[in-house]
Amino acid sequence: ITSTEQEVLDEIEEKDVDFLRLQFTDILGTVKNVSVPARQAEKAFTDGIYFDGSSIEGFVRIQESDMRLVPDPDTFAVLPWRNSEESASARMICDVYNTSTGEPFEGDPRYVLKQALERASDLGYTVNAAPEPEFFLFEEDEEGRATTDTNDAGGYFDLAPKDLASDVRRDIIYGLEDMGFEIEASHHEVAEGQHEINFEYEDALSTADNVATFRTVVRAIAAEHDLHATFMPKPIPKINGSGMHTHLSLFTEDGENAFHDGDDEFDLSEEAHAFTAGILEHAPAITAISNPTVNSYKRLVPGYEAPVYIAWSDRNRSALIRKPAARIPAASRIEARFPDPSCNPYLALAALIHAGLEGIEKGLECPDPVRENIYDFDEDKREEYGIETLPTNLGEAVDALEEDEIIYNALGDHIAQKFVEAKSQEFQEYLVDVSQWELDRYLETF
């Protein structure tokens, strides 16, 4: 038992934790729990906890279904909404192992991200990431089911009294802080009922863990206020959807920001430019992972501050990648603006990191930034600038993923296959469905 593990055992004792939720995510990014009595914590650290993986999305085939969960003691947190004087529940995020081989399970998204970080580390880098998840808060109906009625009519940075949801957001932030989050900022977003909470940057693995946790916490605390929090990318047509801008930078082993170069026009180093070039080059395939639902592509349309075209910029927000202004060298970074909060954060970060590192390894040339509003460009102008378009639907994105060896391999065979299978099926189901829009448009016309 390590000293961090011992600290967790002490804390379990001290805080009267009865139950431990051992968490991991499936391929689609849904958080799964195995709940064990807290007295099993020591055994969980030393031997792991066995579970049947056959019922988990995309995990294993039935005949090889025994999996082992090994909790990461760094992720121990008492659940704020299950905490009272007498008892408490806590969670830890786990790595998944294959019981027959004893090796890390290649179907574990956290393992896929760890491998991306290992590639970075082989090149001498650590990866920092900070997400900006956006979400909507909706009213529930009498039966407690989610509606798309917003509970406020606020707009960007509006304050009370219009921002009635600020109470909820405050409770969410307290809950997150109780769980060890460093919240940098939170505000009402552009659309009514839409919110954003920004976390302080951390190493990419902690950030992915944080996003997974974040979605659970936000939903749980919103529910206490009889509201439904949704991370669906575009719940309401014709207003902004929800993105999850993702800030990325590489640091050297001695803690210097490898993305900073004060002599560059954009304060970005050669590595940062090459990393950007790698993401631009692999963007269509990454999209399948960072924007993995049919609905994701209803957000990626012109006019709603979401990217559509494959370009970068130091100013405008219609670009796929933006270079935000940095006040200090440590803050030089790039902002990928295409991911949305329905993605599996482990896989999305892994894909972005592999693409960026590929750019560095190959010394890819970064195109010039585009400073005009790309939404206004017509096809000729895009052609002149050499600007390609993101996939326009999930089907195209999955095709791009299958054609892009780098990104496909980044997922590992197991996850790549299951992911493509699941997403192709999802897209097919969507294609044969008849939507309300079609009924409204055609039922009485023809």
* Contacted by 299, from Mg ion, ligand GLN, none: CB < 5 to 8 Å by type: ligand GLN
Q: Known catalytic residue: 337?
A: yes
Of the pair 23, 242, the CB lying nearest ligand GLN is at 242
The alpha carbon of 39 is separated from its chain's Cα centroid by a whole number of angstroms, namely 32
Q: Known catalytic residue: 192?
A: no
Q: Known catalytic residue: 383?
A: no
Q: Known catalytic residue: 196?
A: yes
Of the pair 227, 306, the CB lying nearest ligand GLN is at 306
Of the pair 91, 298, the CB lying nearest Mg ion is at 298
Of the pair 54, 198, the CB lying nearest Mg ion is at 198
* Contacted by 219, from ligand GLN, Mg ion, none: CB < 5 to 8 Å by type: none
Q: Known catalytic residue: 335?
A: yes
Is 245 an interacting residue with respect to Mg ion (CB under 5 A)? yes
Residue in the block written with tokens 């940098």: 184
- Catalytic-role residue among 26, 163, 209, 335: 335
CB of 320 to Mg ion, least distance (A): 12
CB of 385 to ligand GLN, least distance (A): 22
CB of 337 to ligand GLN, least distance (A): 6
Q: Known catalytic residue: 327?
A: no
Of the pair 223, 236, the CB lying nearest ligand GLN is at 236
CB of 206 to ligand GLN, least distance (A): 23
Is 260 an interacting residue with respect to Mg ion (CB under 5 A)? no
**Pairwise CA distance, residues 215 & 203, whole Å:** 19
Is 196 an interacting residue with respect to Mg ion (CB under 5 A)? yes
Is 132 an interacting residue with respect to Mg ion (CB under 5 A)? yes
* Contacted by 306, from ligand GLN, Mg ion, none: CB < 5 to 8 Å by type: ligand GLN
CB of 360 to ligand GLN, least distance (A): 26
Residues engaged in binding ligand GLN (CB under 6 A): 134, 190, 240-243, 299, 305-306, 317, 337
CB of 194 to ligand GLN, least distance (A): 7
Catalytic residues, which ones? Answer: 52, 132, 134, 189, 196, 245, 317, 335, 337
Which residues of this protein are in contact with Mg ion, per CB under 5 A? 132, 196, 245
